[in-house]
Structure 1
């Protein structure tokens, strides 16, 4: 008789690319994951995965069985969630991916509230600044700061986010405060390494791209913020990274009369799986925790800028 945990092990091994990675994802010993795969193959009377010392590959039977195995797991999860909903509870495993810095600064505290509200959730959170493939990597949902261009995913907005120009008072005292887009280009910039043409100002369809001289390129917002606090240049950062530093004066907001392109915070889940009760409960809990407008924008609105020009109107 085919066991559900053996099917889960097979799917995890295929999605993770190795037995070791699948075992880690499932919270099992490698030997247990391997035995569950072997048990499934014995029950089906065929080999599903061809093993070698260098890689794993699906056999022809494995390729045929994989989409059915994924549907079996999806339907079992949906049935469990539906029964849980009928009992007024949300239970079971939930695997989530989020950017490192946002996860540490804001997501961790918000998830504490979510888990207190839903004691039956077994949450796995993986922090990673790369754009993980939610559909292929086995995540129930991923958090993204910015547009979600993958049509395999359904994206739901969690919170708005503005990006603002900031620098330390010491840097501005030494190099002057820019008052226009053109003046920005003569300053040292602390840039996000994973985006080209990242400094965009104006309005949709009428963007102006600025490219300051790079003092640093890095793929982590907290490092960018701390480098700006140290006085090495100007940075364009989401308010959720800098609201505390604006409040205590470690950073000053630079107003050049034009708004930077924003980047909203989204949660996305694979379209083929639809939204489970767990993901829907998570979305609502995070929205409540962040607020509308989110608390990081409310805090930054109360911080003085280095310029009194009126905000840009599209």
Structure 2
């Protein structure tokens, strides 16, 4: 049992008032917090919280353990911060996650530059299109695309993106005009399996859903992009995934007036934990660079 983590989880449960609120605030699952609390109570041999379906309350032992845990963790964090920052050198392991394609294109180069600048630091970069819970996975930071749920996470916005519909010039020259989402029924479409069988658009404040019968379904962005470049059909991807191809004219953007709203891109990290010097250093290093590197979907590059 990780005593420090279980103590911190206990504090978060009490501070947030419920298991579900604590789970949302910390990025963990409710089941994980239940297991953590149960393990702590077994280890101590006492009940810390009386829980029912509607409320929970600290026991006498729980009140004492809460006050002691808060003092202990505060002292440990304070000492670690002072020791780690004693000489101004960034050191330790930085653990972060990002979506696969965005991570390969933008996060990895920035992280590599950071490690070259800080020779005593190391990093673990996990690229996954799943939303990994930071605390459950022992992660320091995450890059998230899309609107964030309310939580106690700190979020630094570094840009935005949106879904864009595009095709190769050769395909468009040989195919019927595409002037509204309904026109897609006359075209070969290339789908990502994660998108389902509907493409969603917005026009004059209304959401439009177009059912797609695909010619090709891919589970990877680069396979869908290649099929589109080779003239197989029309695809719909995040702008940053095809920004270079659009800028070079190898793909043409269509249905721009029907595109959905911009999705924000954030770098997020736990709010409840005091930032270590290495995390603070990376945030200060990475945010300006990611802001510059992330292509703006509202701007056409010539």
CA distance in 1, matches of 2:185, 2:70: 51
Which residue in the other structure is 2:300 paired with?
Answer: 301
Q: How does 1:222-241 map to 2 (within 5 A)?
A: 222-241=222-241
Report the 3-state secondary structure (helix = DSSP H, G, I; strand = E; otherwise coil) of the residue aligned with 1:148. Answer: coil
Which residue in the other structure is 1:106 paired with?
Answer: 106
Deviations 1:237-281 (A, max 9, x none): 223211222233331222443333322221222333254443333
Shift of 1:98: 1.2
Contact 2:176 2:186 in 1 (8 A): no
Which residue in the other structure is 1:61 paired with?
Answer: 42
Larger displacement relative to structure 2 (120-129 or 219-228): 219-228
CA distance in 2, matches of 1:202, 1:118: 48
Contact 2:94 2:121 in 1 (8 A): yes
Alignment of 1:154 onto 2:154: yes
Which residue in the other structure is 1:91 paired with?
Answer: 91
Contact 1:91 1:122 in 2 (8 A): yes
Contact 1:186 1:212 in 2 (8 A): no
CA RMSD of aligned residues (A): 3.8
Query: In structure 2, do the counterparts of structure 1 residues 283 and 206 end up closer, same or farther at CA, with 3 Å as the change threshold?
Result: farther
Unaligned runs of 5+ in 2: 10-37, 49-65
Aligned residues: 253
Deviations 1:278-307 (A, max 9, x none): 333323322222335x4533897124xxxx
Q: TM-score, normalised by structure 1?
A: 0.65
Report the 3-state secondary structure (helix = DSSP H, G, I; strand = E; otherwise coil) of the residue aligned with 1:136. Answer: coil
CA distance in 2, matches of 1:216, 1:233: 9
Contact 1:180 1:256 in 2 (8 A): no
Q: TM-score, normalised by structure 2?
A: 0.67
CA distance in 1, matches of 2:233, 2:79: 54
Which residue in the other structure is 1:242 paired with?
Answer: 242
Shift of 1:234: 1.6
Contact 1:165 1:254 in 2 (8 A): yes
Shift of 1:214: 2.6
Contact 1:165 1:235 in 2 (8 A): yes
Shift of 1:82: 4.7
Shift of 1:75: 6.1
Which residue in the other structure is 1:115 paired with?
Answer: 115
CA distance in 2, matches of 1:169, 1:71: 65
CA distance in 2, matches of 1:236, 1:166: 6
Contact 1:90 1:121 in 2 (8 A): yes
CA distance in 2, matches of 1:237, 1:201: 16
Which residue in the other structure is 2:201 paired with?
Answer: 200
Deviations 1:147-189 (A, max 9, x none): 2236353332122224322111222223234122332344333
Which residue in the other structure is 1:262 paired with?
Answer: 262
